[in-house]
C-alpha cells in the first residue's frame, strides 16, 4: 500500500455520530472540546444529572485524543527532584499518586462502559540514549521507591534484549503499571458513554466568544458559537493543544507543539516479537524524543517531534521521512518494512511543563498534559466535573501557579518554536 497521509487509528473504528440538532437555549454546563478531557467531564456531569452540551468545532475525538500513541503512562514530564523543589514533598507525593490513579481511572471507565479499545497493562520502557542518562536511572528509581513507594526496574544493557530488539541503547527502566490502548477506539467509546449518560454533543460547533451574562436571575455565561448562542451556568474548557482565541487567558499560557507518527505495514509475528518481546510502550531519554510501540495488529507505530510546528501538509510529509530514518536507526530490521500511514497532531505544553486545572476568568479548565494526556486528561475531566457538581475531590494539580510566558512575551502565536526546537536539539547534543 502506498504511504497515506492519514491517521491509522481511524481505520480501526467508527465514531458515534452526534445527531445534528439545534443548540439548546440553556444548559447547566457547556463543555468546550470533545476529546478525552471534555467527554470524560461530560460523562461524569451527565451521570450526576446535569444538563450538558459538549461543543466541538470539528467532530468527536478529532483533536489529539484520536491521534496519539495510545500510551497510558505513569509519572510526569519533570523529574522528581525538580517537582519536589517546585511544590514540596507532600504535594509532589500526592501528584505522583495521582498519576497512578489516572491509569486506574481509564481502566475503570473502559470496564464500566465496555469500551473495546485493547486496553492492556503492558508496562512502559524508557531507554537511555547516553551512558549518563542510564546512570541516572538507578538514582531515579531509588528516589521514586523512597518518596512514592512505587517500583521501577532498571534494566542493564546486557539484559535489554529481553525488552527490546535494538542495540542502540545503554540500558532501560521499566514501569509495569503503565498501559497501552487504541486511542481512537477509546475516545469513540468515551463519546458513546457521554451520550448514553445523557450529554448532548454538538459537532461542527465552534465556540467563538464567551461573556458573563445573567439569565433568569442566575449568573452564568453566554457562549457565541458558529451555530448560534446558548447560555450556560458553568463553562468547562478542554481544548488542549487546539485552544484558540475564544479563551485568550488559556491560549497565552499554552504552547501548541506538533507531534507526528508513522506506522508500518503489518509485521510478521516473529519480527514483531523480536522488536518488542513484552509489547511495551517505549520512549527514549532525549528531550527531542522518539516514542514507539506495536499496534494490536502488529504494526510498528513510531512517533516523535519530527517538526516542532503543528501539523500541516508540509510538516506531515517531511515527518514521514524523518521518522522512518529514526525508526531504522533504532531498528535496522525494519529497513524494508513499508511505512503505510503518517499523521500529526498538536499537544499542549504549559510554560512549566505541568498539567493545570482549576478556574480562570471564572471558567473551569483542564489543560497542559505535555504528551501525557491519555490518562491525565480522562482523570482531570472526571475530577473537574466532580468539582463543578459541588464535590471537593482531591486534585493536587488545582491551585498550583499557572505561569504565562517569561516577561509576558507571548500572545498565543508561538513565534519562538523554531528556536525552541533548535534549543532542544542542542540540549540533546550536550547532555
Under the binding rule (CB under 6 A), the answer on residue 70 touching ligand FAD is: yes
For the chain, helix (H) and strand (E) counts, in that order, are 10, 19
User: Which residues does 139 contact at the CB level (< 8 Å), separation at least 6?
Assistant: none
Residue closer to ligand FAD (CB basis): 259 or 263: 259
List the interface residues with ligand FAD, window 167-186 (CB under 6 A): none
Under the binding rule (CB under 6 A), the answer on residue 372 touching ligand FAD is: yes
Contacting range for ligand FAD; rule: CB under 6 A; set: 69-77, 97-105, 132-140, 213-221: 69-77
Among 27, 41, 55, 282, binds ligand FAD (CB under 6 A): 55
User: Which residues does 216 contact at the CB level (< 8 Å), separation at least 6?
Assistant: none
Contacting range for ligand FAD; rule: CB under 6 A; set: 61-69, 76-84, 88-96, 401-409: 61-69
Task: Please name which of 278, 160, 196 lies closest in space to residue 16, comparing C-alpha atoms.
Answer: 196
Q: Give the shortest CB-364-to-ligand FAD separation in angstroms.
A: 13
Residue closer to ligand FAD (CB basis): 157 or 309: 309
Write down how long the chain is.
431
Under the binding rule (CB under 6 A), the answer on residue 68 touching ligand FAD is: yes
Contacting range for ligand FAD; rule: CB under 6 A; set: 83-91, 155-163, 211-219, 370-378: 370-378
Tell me the backbone φ, ψ of residue 416, rounded to 5 degrees: -90, 0
Among 42, 52, 73, 255, binds ligand FAD (CB under 6 A): 73
At 129, list the grid cell.
Answer: 540514549
Residue closer to ligand FAD (CB basis): 67 or 383: 67
At 217, list the grid cell.
Answer: 436571575
Under the binding rule (CB under 6 A), the answer on residue 259 touching ligand FAD is: yes
Cα-Cα-Cα-Cα dihedral of 55, 56, 60, 64, to 10°? -130
Among 9, 242, 308, 331, binds ligand FAD (CB under 6 A): 242
Please, are residues 298 and 272 in contact by the beta-carbon 8 Å criterion?
yes
Under the binding rule (CB under 6 A), the answer on residue 232 touching ligand FAD is: no
- Helix runs in 294-369, H state only: 313-330
CB 79: neighbour CB atoms within 10 A? 15
Contacting range for ligand FAD; rule: CB under 6 A; set: 34-42, 75-83, 191-199, 406-414: 34-42
SS3 assignment, position 402: coil
User: Which residues does 158 contact at the CB level (< 8 Å), separation at least 6?
Assistant: none
Q: How far apart are CA 261 and CA 250, in angstroms?
A: 27
Please, are residues 72 and 374 in contact by the beta-carbon 8 Å criterion?
yes
Under the binding rule (CB under 6 A), the answer on residue 189 touching ligand FAD is: no
Please, are residues 320 and 339 in contact by the beta-carbon 8 Å criterion?
yes
Q: 270: burial class by Cβ within 10 Å (0-12, 13-18, 19+)? A: exposed
Q: Give the shortest CB-122-to-ligand FAD separation in angstroms.
A: 13
Among 18, 32, 384, 388, binds ligand FAD (CB under 6 A): 32
Contacting range for ligand FAD; rule: CB under 6 A; set: 104-112, 156-164, 235-243, 389-397: 235-243
The helix or strand, by DSSP H or E, that contains position 40, with its residue range, turns out to be helix 36-47
Among 52, 230, 374, 385, binds ligand FAD (CB under 6 A): 374
Size of the site for ligand FAD (CB under 6 A): 42
Contacting range for ligand FAD; rule: CB under 6 A; set: 107-115, 157-165, 342-350, 384-392: 342-350
At 394, list the grid cell.
Answer: 482531591
Q: Give the shortest CB-366-to-ligand FAD separation in angstroms.
A: 7
Which positions touch ligand FAD (CB under 6 A)? 32-38, 55-58, 62-65, 67-71, 73, 206-207, 238-242, 244, 246, 259, 261, 303, 345-347, 369, 371-374, 377
Amino acid at each position: 500500500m502506498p504511504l497515506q497521509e492519514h491517521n491509522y487509528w481511524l481505520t480501526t473504528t467508527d465514531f458515534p455520530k452526534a445527531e445534528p440538532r439545534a443548540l439548546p437555549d440553556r444548559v447547566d454546563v457547556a463543555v468546550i472540546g470533545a476529546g478525552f478531557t471534555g467527554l470524560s467531564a461530560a460523562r461524569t456531569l451527565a451521570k450526576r444529572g446535569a444538563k450538558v452540551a459538549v461543543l466541538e468545532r470539528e467532530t468527536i475525538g478529532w483533536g489529539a485524543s484520536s491521534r496519539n500513541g495510545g500510551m497510558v503512562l505513569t509519572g510526569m514530564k519533570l523529574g522528581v527532584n525538580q517537582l519536589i523543589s517546585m511544590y514540596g514533598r507532600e504535594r509532589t507525593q500526592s501528584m505522583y499518586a495521582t498519576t497512578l490513579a489516572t491509569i486506574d481511572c481509564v481502566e475503570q471507565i473502559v470496564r464500566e462502559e465496555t469500551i473495546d479499545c485493547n486496553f492492556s497493562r503492558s508496562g512502559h520502557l524508557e531507554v537511555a540514549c547516553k551512558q549518563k542518562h542510564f546512570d541516572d536511572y538507578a538514582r531515579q528509581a531509588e528516589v521514586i521507591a523512597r518518596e512514592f513507594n512505587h517500583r521501577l526496574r532498571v534494566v542493564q544493557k546486557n539484559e535489554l534484549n529481553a525488552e527490546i530488539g535494538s542495540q542502540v541503547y545503554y540500558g532501560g527502566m521499566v514501569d509495569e503499571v503503565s498501559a497501552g490502548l487504541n486511542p481512537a477506539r477509546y475516545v469513540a467509546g468515551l463519546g458513546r458513554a457521554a451520550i448514553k449518560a445523557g450529554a448532548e454533543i454538538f459537532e461542527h460547533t465552534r465556540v467563538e466568544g464567551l461573556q458573563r451574562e445573567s439569565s433568569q436571575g442566575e449568573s452564568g455565561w453566554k457562549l457565541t458559537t458558529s451555530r448560534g448562542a446558548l447560555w450556560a451556568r458553568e463553562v468547562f474548557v478542554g481544548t488542549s493543544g487546539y485552544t484558540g482565541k475564544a479563551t485568550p487567558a488559556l491560549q497565552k499560557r499554552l504552547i501548541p507543539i506538533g507531534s507526528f507518527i508513522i506506522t508500518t505495514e503489518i509485521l510478521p509475528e516473529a519480527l514483531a516479537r523480536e522488536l518488542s518481546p513484552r509489547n511495551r510502550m517505549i520512549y527514549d531519554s532525549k528531550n527531542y524524543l522518539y516514542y514507539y510501540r506495536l499496534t494490536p495488529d502488529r504494526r510498528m507505530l513510531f512517533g516523535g517531534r519530527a517538526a516542532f510546528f503543528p501539523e500541516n501538509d508540509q510538516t506531515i510529509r517531511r515527518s514521514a521521512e524523518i521518522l522512518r530514518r529514526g525508526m531504522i536507526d533504532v531498528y535496522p530490521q525494519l529497513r524494508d518494512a513499508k511505512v503505510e500511514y503518517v499523521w500529526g497532531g498538536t499537544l499542549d505544553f504549559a510554560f512549566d511543563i505541568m498539567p493545570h486545572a482549576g478556574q480562570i476568568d471564572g471558567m473551569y479548565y483542564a489543560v497542559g498534559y505535555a504528551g501525557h494526556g491519555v490518562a491525565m486528561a480522562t482523570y482531570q475531566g472526571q475530577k473537574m466535573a466532580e468539582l463543578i457538581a459541588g464535590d471537593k475531590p482531591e486534585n493536587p494539580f488545582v491551585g498550583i501557579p499557572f505561569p504565562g510566558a517569561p516577561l509576558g512575551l507571548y500572545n498565543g502565536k508561538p513565534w519562538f518554536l523554531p528556536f525552541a526546537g533548535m534549543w532542544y536539539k542542542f540540549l540533546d547534543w550536550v547532555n
